[in-house]
Chain A
């Protein structure tokens, strides 16, 4: 089975986000880059599928030049190769531009299934997978919490606005990973050494002209400091009074 996994290199979740002087981007100094967490679940799902049915896993990532070191980290996890589509200043590019570049590359690869993360933790659009699937004209099932292949169909469980759904579709298809779809493994030293022989192909790409104009970035308004009502169960009557009379939320 030919399995593709799309990953993005993002500032890790501990990053302290500081708005840059241009007020349209963030200060990128001292940022630690990592694979987007949802993409790690997607990669692990791809590798587990390969281990079950055989085949190959190819990782594809659109990103700036400095992302390649992090993309490489997918190889010891079990990817057979990685393609790095190098696009300058692409980290916060529009999802449709990213999906178009991915679609153009993927059209020259045979594939049975594509895994993506359900969203990235930086731009948090949660659209690239869905857009990519539509551009490739294949079914998309997003936010999978369980996944299996039954014959020539993919079967996915997911939570949709409070209800559990089991959805199925024909292959080839695209599945996006919710947290918990898989437990990403830690590659062993041996796997890390072996992966050094695997390739990462950098390919320069050019993104389309943007259609969205960024006016600026702002910090969210600070929440006013609250008050400690008291200690233990004795403070409960006062809490209920405040919620009823002051906050008026009960």
Chain B
């Protein structure tokens, strides 16, 4: 009997892929015990069909007029109240930027030491051994918690999504949230207008480094990304040179990604960068320097100038698309 609660991260009612992964992990741990999803915000009830698909047997929903940003620090009081009522053994969070402040606030409130950013979880009779990378992924530590509940977050894009069909029962949670409970307010949200997938959830990532030559040459990477439905990333040196913004940096002081396909264009492969892409399923490297360290970890390499190879790749992919 392992009672598991999964906290749902979503954008205006659309659950994130990392949430589906968390539910899949949660169901594996819970086994025959009903799996509970907790979702806050206006779209919570409408998301029930989606939560059923990933195995949630119950959905606890909460909404309140003050809670304009339901996946935030402001949700700490109702979430703590739900945990106290439900007495779960394990609370699972997707390890997304939006969730992190809330996870910490819940942990501080309950006096629980959380285990975050896990890439593998072993379950022996409800006792979890959680594996998480440290030192930029140079080593992996395995940990267990001796506290109940155990608070765990899982790294996006690592765990498989498993589709199931559960009958999800919706339960509304009653809680008095006041205006004074709102600690942070969002003044403005903006997207960059691009329709590309988010780096952390992308199946394919095209990343560029110094070898791109200049900021303008990233246009060709964006074209390649559009052909493949991919996200665009950048190496640290490119961000430091201000060719690309910090928010797309991949590596130790940027994002750690794990796509199915990572295409490194003009990236030499400093150890700090390799740490950020190590869990990718397939890595392709295109670089003019045959001795670049990136070739040591790439599954497939092409030695050559990215300015010639990438446009050729775009043409070849378009051709393949048309013929299929």
Contact = CB atoms under 8 A, between A and B. Distances in A.
Interface of A: 11, 13-15, 17, 19, 26, 37-38, 92, 94-97, 99, 121-127, 130-131, 133-135, 138-143, 145, 155, 159-169, 178-180, 210-220, 223-233, 235-237, 239-240, 242-244, 247, 249-250
Interface string B252-296: 111000001100000000011000001001111000001000011
A229 B278 contact: no
30 contacts: A13-B252, A13-B253, A37-B253, A95-B114, A121-B135, A126-B100, A127-B107, A130-B108, A131-B104, A134-B105, A134-B109, A139-B184, A161-B97, A162-B198, A162-B247, A165-B188, A166-B188, A169-B185, A180-B239, A180-B246, A212-B115, A220-B133, A223-B299, A229-B302, A231-B302, A232-B303, A232-B308, A239-B284, A243-B284, A249-B204
Given A213-B146, A219-B139, A220-B137, 11 more contacts: A14-B271, A134-B108, A134-B109, A142-B100, A161-B16, A162-B200, A162-B247, A166-B187, A168-B185, A226-B300, A229-B300
B126 interface: no
A180 B244 CA distance: 12
B301 A229 contact: yes
Nearest to B285: A226
B304 to A, nearest CB: 4
B297 A226 contact: yes
A179 B254 CA distance: 8
Interface stretch (B44-52, B170-178, B313-321): B313-321
Nearest to A123: B134
A211 B146 contact: yes
Contacts of B214: none
Contacts of B142: 214-218
Contact of B113 (A94, A167, A217, A236): A94
Interface in B148-203: 183-192, 198-200
Contact of A121 (B113, B200, B252): B252
Given A134-B104, A214-B142, A228-B301, A161 B96 contact: yes
A168 B112 CA distance: 28
B101 A140 contact: yes
Contacts of A237: 316
Contacts of A159: 97, 246-247
B261 A250 contact: yes
Given A130-B100, A131-B108, A134-B105, A236 B261 contact: no
Nearest to A96: B113
Contacts of A229: 300-302
A26 B186 contact: no
Interface string B90-134: 000000111011011101110111111100000000000100011
B199 A162 contact: yes
A133 B76 CA distance: 13
A13 B136 contact: yes
A231 B290 CA distance: 10
B303 A213 contact: no
B298 interface: yes
Contact of B261 (A26, A212, A249): A249
Contacts of B304: 231-233, 235
A244 B320 contact: yes
A160 B96 CA distance: 8
Contact of A212 (B145, B204, B249, B283): B145
B303 A145 contact: no
A124 B134 contact: yes
A42 to B, nearest CB: 13
A152 to B, nearest CB: 14
B15 to A, nearest CB: 13
Given A94-B113, A232-B302, A233-B312, A17 B108 contact: no
Contacts of B204: 249
Contact of B247 (A13, A38, A145, A235): A145
A168 to B, nearest CB: 5
A236 B305 contact: no
A165 B297 contact: no
B87 interface: no
Contacts of A220: 133, 137-140, 278
Contacts of A240: 313, 316-317, 320
Contacts of A138: 183
Contact of A232 (B97, B145, B147, B305): B305
B217 interface: no
Nearest to B246: A180
Contacts of B76: 134
Contact of B302 (A26, A215, A239): A239
B309 A232 contact: yes
B190 A161 contact: no
A167 B186 contact: yes
Top 8 A-B pairs, shortest CB-CB distance? A130-B104, A134-B108, A233-B312, A162-B198, A159-B247, A139-B183, A232-B304, A180-B246
B320 to A, nearest CB: 6
A243 B282 contact: yes
